[in-house]
Chain A
Amino acid sequence: MATMKFYCDAERCIECNACVTACKNEHDIPWGVNRRRVVTIKDGEQGERSLSVACMHCSDAPCAAVCPVDCFYTTGDGIVLHDKDICIGCGYCFYACPFGAPQFPESSAFSSRGKMDKCTFCAGGPEDDHSSEEYKKYGRNRLSEGKLPLCAEMCSTKALLAGDADVLSDIYRKRIINRGASAFDWGVNFNNTKIQG
């Protein structure tokens, strides 16, 4: 069975935020909740790179490990989903997640956060596929229609890839091969006086 993963090619990501708004669009996500975000490190300096980050659907998901009510599950495709009906909004998954994927609709006193929301790899949730319950709680279920997450499908430069890990690796490998010939010159080179032919 395929293992679904995301990969963001840092050499191509330009922080256009299409992945962010595509996700908001597809799942009608309210203000304040962002399943996906783009982080830019070394902003404004040589070596600046951007990466699109959302739930990475870890094989050994820390969120699933620490959840007090064990509301997470991993599908056969390796997608990590959770059940909002069981979630108690404690925030532990957010503490554990390296990528900050869990989002909460509120952040109030007495630790009231509301139900956790996160990237579902556009695979919906435990409700029936395409039911309005599923849509209201988890957003669209694209995977069951044979489609892939909209964030990756709409990425302006095809930096964000989503799909079977083997296929992703192949795509990325090809890119590395293309880039490899100029690896010695890669990146910003302010004082370059030796131009490769």
Chain B
Amino acid sequence: MKKLIKSSSSVDKSKVARPCKSVPGAISRRTFLRNSSLMAGGAALATTVSPVMMKKADAAVAAGGKIEQVKTICTHCSVGCGIIAEVQNGVWTGQEPAFDHPFNKGAHCAKGASIREHGHGPRRLKYPTKLVDGKWKKISWDEAINEIGDKMLEIRDKSGPDSVFWLGSAKHSNEQAYLFRKFAAMWGTNNVDHQARICHSTTVAGVANTWGYGAMTNSYNDIHHSKAILLIGSNPTEAHPVALQHIFKAKEENNAPVIVIDPRFTRTAAHANHYLKIRPGTDVAIIWGMMWHIFENGWEDKEFIRQRVYGMDDVMKEVKKWNPAEVERVSGVPEDQVYAATKAMADNRPGTFIWCMGGTQHTIGNNNTRAYCAFQLALGNMGVSGGGANIFRGHDNVQGATDLGVLSNTLPGYYGLSAGSWKHWSRVWDLDYEWIKGQFDSGSYEQSKGKDVPVMNTKGIPVSRWIDGVLEDKANIAQKDNLRAMFFWGHAPNSQTRGVEQKKAMEKLEMMVIVDPYPTASAVMPDRKDGIYLLPASTQMETYGSVTASNRSFQWRSKVIEPLFESLPDQTIMYKLAKKLGLADQLFKNIKVNGEEPLVEDILREINRGMWTIGYTGQSPERLKKHQENWGTFDYDTLKAEGGPADGDYYGLPWPSWGPPEMNHPGTPNLYDTSKNVADGGLTFRARFGVERNGTNLLAEGSYGKGSDIKDGYPEFSADVLKKLGWWDDLTAAEKKAAEGKNWKTDLSGGIQRVAIKHGCSPFGNAKARAMVWTFPDPVPIHREPLYTSRRDLVEKYPTYEDRKSFWRLPTRYKSIQATDFSKDYPIILTSGRLVEYEGGGDETRSNAWLAELQQDMFVEIHPRDANNAGIKDGDDVWVEGAEKAKVKVKAMVTRRVGSGVAFMPFHFAGHMQGENLLDKYPEGAAPYILGEAANTAFTYGYDSVTQMQESKCSLCRITKA
């Protein structure tokens, strides 16, 4: 029987997954265009958008279009995978692996591999929409901006600018994030925040207060050098899949033991050598339990501690209480496992320490993160390649948005909200400080050290508490009035807890403005007849700019396609709104605006001029574009370019990239690494907390960076310090003029930084890291039981905090909640987490058919014992009722992944509310393919004692058959 033999001509079959240089012209041109039509049959709902609206998304039928390859960066997580988009006639027709990209080498997860869907996205929000009498009505941009602006001004008039909440996004580009923060400042409020609050705010606070900066200290690639890897509350197989590429490299080539500490046997745990199953909320217990073994066996790096750590003695005192029996009693992990895991880290240094939401989302989140830091400090794993605190951030630009200050407690660059900070930024913005001050409510609602503090200098309401800003009695809020209007700008609501109250708050608001590529659950949760505006924002694929990955590297995104439908990039929307509000001249003073689109490069240049604190100054548009053009020249293991146009740079100029761009600082790949000269990316611990405390030297002792002219610790650099050191004359005349009376953060010439670095010194000083933070509620991290805990026997010994009358402008409860025993009625510990197919609030990824097909049902993971006790079988519909009586109807997944007494829900679903399907409330043609209950509807009150982070990793619930 003759078989047809299909001959494949001229193909080099020896190429297997090796970097493939895509040389245009060498590849045969595709003479057809993709049929970008979508699903046929199945669960897909046909779009009802008119053909006119679809014209931008329809595949152009012309054949023979030239294929353009556009480089951009994935928008789904902080790994920052490189993407090569193939575009023909303005239509996104294909994706090729970016083999050259140093972070991912062409690899993706399900989300990155399907991101081309952003190029046709039929479920997008297509035009400005307004809710009129319960129905969605299309309006024009001008109408929308006008009405929104009018309402805002009316509110400002009656209640003051603090009554508008500016909820921004971790998915802004750097330029958009910066502009957003600046906009809120122009408007006159500190009520501006974003996802970082509910993600890594406790990390930033805890870690920055430990050694100076609150960011990932090394990088994903640097894990190649790790000899041991510990992950706590982190599940990268679902949340950062490409990070596993790097983790496996260390595991396989360095024989690095992988230790996973998690209440669930996650997919990450399945690849681990050690798995410690802890009770949710017992991070401090387990870490101190491990430290107990470290100190018992003398495994700590005594020299490192002596030179570079303050307060380890205080930590040791606390750790002594955590003997194996107590650790097991509190966390549930037996001694042999704790010992084995500790020994693995101690024997195999440098080891890296990774954590994510499992550790951060607690009322004691700041304790957890500082405990993690103390662990690494004790083992001397900081400031070395292969070690570090490798904090995996979440969204693609949560790092950038955090750095650029889309936070209610600071201006861009973590300068804070003091008068000095405002003055610095006024200078950068080239605006009159008094004018800015005048934009704010002149009242004062808080006191500090007996003096009234103007509202301009007080922390605003954080996103985790915005509902209380609306619902709380205004007499109890430290601002003039309640929140009356709110922007949901690139931020979904279902990632925050207390969904039922959120619904109420949304109904009480007078205006909701949702600026997003998708309607999000905010559009459907409230039962409203009017007062909701939906403004279609473009995705990052439809604009360009820079983004900061978790490892602090900047990456340049090029525009893949023009904005779809009537969407506009954030910066353009901001321009339109600013113009309406009469703030455009100030907001864009030194930023060119082409038509209505602000020039992205100018925004970055302004950032470069002002963000001296974290070295956002060296990453100019030109340098970043050069890096984008030369991905392949950066080394996979070190991220350093050897040769090529970016020779000597570290990929993305990971901040701090000190000094102005002309100084050409290569970036700092691993923070606090004294084995390198600061000029080559080395660094010391920041001298942020003073020079001495109670007679103890807070500066480093005998530890200093390579090539440092000061062979010991030193304080942060200022004009005075330079003069004392006799280095003042190293400054040029122009620099002297700018630097006089300033310090390394406020000298706009960058001269102080330049000179310090010239002498091999870190501009921010050389100090010890603090294992004990005396300004925090718990200076030495201690364990406290979650507000909703099933271990009532531990509440007496490990109680939560006292209630606070005013914390971030709001009354915040702790003890009064923990006082009630909910464990009888709600016996199961509820925790939450991620799925690889979805991201964040989920409306965007659930609108991607290729992803949505893979996760069609919202579910709760329940242990067989608990399922049997409740008469529940796998696949049954069940009610998960939270301890605050909100309940969600989901499918039961009976699995041993969770321990008995623990249940898990993914938080990405939305569109159902306590059993009700809200599909009909979505604007026509803009609902995601898959809807489900939001896990956070059932999650409860509970906020971190420093940052107001929500406690969404340990609450209580009961599960019954529906």
Contact = CB atoms under 8 A, between A and B. Distances in A.
B8 interface: yes
Interface in B1-36: 1, 3-9, 11-17, 20, 27-28, 30-32, 34-36
B241 interface: yes
Interface stretch (B271-279, B367-375, B389-397, B696-704): B271-279
A157 B248 contact: yes
A164 B7 contact: no
Nearest to A78: B13
Given A18-B110, A30-B42, A150-B95, 14 more contacts: A12-B248, A16-B241, A17-B109, A30-B40, A30-B41, A32-B41, A73-B6, A75-B6, A132-B63, A148-B17, A153-B17, A154-B106, A190-B274, A195-B343
27 contacts: A14-B267, A16-B110, A16-B241, A22-B113, A25-B850, A28-B37, A30-B40, A31-B43, A43-B897, A45-B897, A48-B267, A73-B4, A77-B13, A81-B6, A130-B28, A132-B32, A132-B63, A140-B94, A144-B11, A144-B28, A157-B107, A157-B248, A162-B16, A167-B16, A191-B336, A192-B274, A193-B336
Contacts of B53: none
A39 interface: no
A126 B270 CA distance: 42
B15 A195 contact: no
A157 B28 contact: no
Interface string A100-119: 00000110000000000000
Given A161-B16, A193-B340, A145 B28 contact: yes
Interface stretch (B198-206, B251-259, B450-458): B251-259
B836 interface: yes
A157 B268 CA distance: 13
A18 B619 CA distance: 32
A155 to B, nearest CB: 6
A84 interface: no
A156 B245 CA distance: 6
Given A21-B113, A31-B853, A135 B32 contact: yes
A24 B850 contact: yes
**Residue in B12, B94, B107 whose Cβ sees the most chain A Cβ within 10 Å:** B107
B255 to A, nearest CB: 5
B709 interface: no
* The 8 residue pairs across chains A and B that have the minimum distance between CB atoms: A2-B13, A44-B897, A163-B16, A31-B42, A17-B110, A21-B114, A16-B241, A22-B113
A168 B4 contact: no
Interface in A108-144: 123, 126, 130-132, 135-136, 140, 143-144
Contacts of B38: 30
Nearest to B334: A191
Given A17-B836, A31-B44, A156 B272 contact: no
Nearest to B343: A195
B40 to A, nearest CB: 5
Nearest to A153: B97
Given A20-B854, A81-B6, A130-B30, A178 B110 contact: no
**Interface on chain B toward A: helix, strand, loop, or mixed SS?**
loop
Contacts of A136: 35
B337 interface: yes
Contacts of A48: 265, 267, 270
Contacts of A74: 3, 5
A28 B117 CA distance: 10
Given A74-B3, A190-B337, A195 B257 contact: yes
B946 interface: no
B108 interface: yes
A185 B273 CA distance: 8
Interface in A52-68: none
Contacts of A140: 94
Contacts of B43: 31
A158 interface: yes
Contacts of B431: none
A185 B269 CA distance: 15
Contacts of B20: 146-147
Contacts of B255: 181-182, 196
A86 to B, nearest CB: 10
A131 B109 CA distance: 29
A175 interface: yes
A188 B837 contact: no
B253 A22 contact: no
Contacts of B7: 75-76
Interface string B307-350: 00000000000000000000000000000110110011001100
Given A30-B40, A156-B109, A164-B13, A21 B851 contact: yes
B16 A148 contact: yes
Interface string B106-127: 1111111110110000000000
Given A48-B267, A73-B5, A195 B11 contact: no
Contacts of A26: 94-95
B78 interface: no
Contacts of A164: 13-14, 16
Contacts of A20: 110, 850, 854
Contacts of A1: 13
B678 interface: no
Contacts of B426: none
A18 B108 contact: yes
Nearest to B269: A188
A54 B8 CA distance: 21
Nearest to B254: A178
